[in-house]
Structure 1
C-alpha cells in the first residue's frame, strides 16, 4: 500500500487553516492597503507593509499564547499590529482607520482553485476550518468565501493561538475523531508543524515555493495547490 493510499484509508477529516490557505490574505490585504497608503502619502511598498503587519500580528499572537493568560481576541491582536506598523512607518492614523483595515480580513476571497478542489474533497471527507480568527470574524467571512464547510472552529475554543497543541487537540475533540484521522492543511510551515507534533497528519500547500525547513515534524504531503491535494486524495 502506498503512502497516499494509507492516508486515504485513515483520513476522515480534512482540516484547513483559513487565512492564507483557503483565502488569499496577502493579496487581499495588499489590494485594500494600497489605496489607503497612497491617500496617506506613504511611498513605500504596500506588499511590504502587509508583510510587516502579518509578521507583527504573528509575533504578538505567539507571545499571547505563551503567556498562558486569558486569550486575547484575534481582532485586538490585529489592531495592535496595524497600529505598530503605521507608527514605524510614520503614518498618522485614527483608531477607526485601524479597525477598518483589520475588518477587511473578514472579506477575503478564496484562492481561485479552492472552491472546485474542496468540492472534490467533499465527496470523500468532512471539511473543517481551524482558524486563529475570532468566532464572529469567521462567521462573517462565510458570506465572502462562500465555502460550505461542515464545521468552522476558532482557536478561542482552546484559549490559545495555533500552533499551541491545545488548539489541535480541542478541534479533534469537538469533532469526535482521533488525531490521526485528521489531515491538517496549511500554507504555513508553523501550522503544519504544530498539527503534526500534536498527532495529526499534515499537508503543506507550498504556494510560495519556499523550503519547509529542518524539523522532525515534516508534512505527509507537500503540494503546490489545493487542486493538487484533491487530485492526490480523491
Structure 2
C-alpha cells in the first residue's frame, strides 16, 4: 500500500451517516418501511440521469419529487404531535427533515478524530446538501475536524461525474494522487478512481464488491480499520 494521503474526502450519506432511521420516518407517515431504500435509490438514479445529460438538481428537490411519486396512493397518517396533518406535502417534509437528523455510524467519531490526529486533511463531498452535512457533523461533535463540508451543488454535477471530484480537489488545493475518496458505494469508488484519486471502500456488511467497478485501493470494515491500514501503509 502506498503512503497515507494528506487529503481524505468522505462521502456522507451511508458512509458517515446511518440511513436506516429514515425507514421510521416512512412508518410515521403511514408508508411501509421498505420504501425507504427504494426512495434513496430513486433519488440517486434521477441525480445520475440528470448529470448524464448535462443537468443537475439539488438532492432535496429530487428527493421531494421521488417521495410524491412513491407516496401516491398511500393512506397517510395524521399525527398532530409529530406535525403530520395527513397531507402529501406534510409527509414529504417529514421524511426529508429526517436526513439532517441521522446518527453517524458508531465508528465514525473515533475514526475521524484519529485520522485528523494522524495529520490528514479531512473533507466531505456529498450528493446531498452541505447544510445536511454540517448538521450531522456538528451534532456528533466532529465538525471541527473537517476543513470543508462540500456538496456537488457547487460542482454542477453529481458524483460519480469527474467534475464533482475536481471540485473538492480545487477547494483542497490538491492533486488527485494526493487525495483518497472514502465511500461505501462502489459507484463512488469507481468514479473517484477514474478521476485519478486514491480510493477506500468501507464494506460495513461484508458484501461482495462488483467486478464491473474499478477496485478500491483499500478495503476497510469501518473508519477505525481504515485509519489502522493507512497508518500501517505509511510506515
TM-score > 0.5 by shorter chain: yes
Alignment partner, residue 78 of structure 1: 63
Q: List runs of 5+ in structure 1 lacking aligned partners.
A: none
Work out whether residues 23 and 145 of structure 1, in 8 Å CA contact, stay in contact via their aligned partners in 2: no
Alignment of 1:179-190 (within 5 A): 179-190=176-187
Alignment partner, residue 96 of structure 1: 90
Alignment partner, residue 171 of structure 1: 168
Closer/same/farther in 2, CA of residues 75 and 209 from structure 1, 3 Å limit: same
Which digits, 9 at most, give the CA deviation of each residue in 1:73-118, with x for residues without a partner?
Answer: 110011111122112x634442122022112101111101110111
Work out whether residues 108 and 144 of structure 1, in 8 Å CA contact, stay in contact via their aligned partners in 2: no
| C-alpha displacement of 1:13 | 0.8
| C-alpha displacement of 1:17 | 0.3
Number of equivalent positions: 218
Alignment partner, residue 82 of structure 2: none
| C-alpha displacement of 1:169 | 1.0
Alignment of 1:150-165 (within 5 A): 150-165=147-162
Which digits, 9 at most, give the CA deviation of each residue in 1:185-215, with x for residues without a partner?
Answer: 0011111011011000000001122111113
Alignment partner, residue 106 of structure 1: 100
SS of the residue 1:60 aligns to: helix
Q: List runs of 5+ in structure 2 lacking aligned partners.
A: 77-86
SS of the residue 1:7 aligns to: coil
TM-score in terms of structure 2 length: 0.87
Aligned counterparts of 2:124 and 2:195: Cα–Cα separation in 1: 17
SS of the residue 1:14 aligns to: strand
Work out whether residues 186 and 204 of structure 1, in 8 Å CA contact, stay in contact via their aligned partners in 2: yes
Aligned pair 1:51/2:44, yes or no? no
TM-score in terms of structure 1 length: 0.87
Aligned counterparts of 1:91 and 1:80: Cα–Cα separation in 2: 18
Tell which deviates more after alignment, 60-69 or 113-122. 60-69
Which digits, 9 at most, give the CA deviation of each residue in 1:43-67, with x for residues without a partner?
Answer: x4x1x21111111111111112112
Work out whether residues 108 and 145 of structure 1, in 8 Å CA contact, stay in contact via their aligned partners in 2: no
Closer/same/farther in 2, CA of residues 128 and 209 from structure 1, 3 Å limit: same
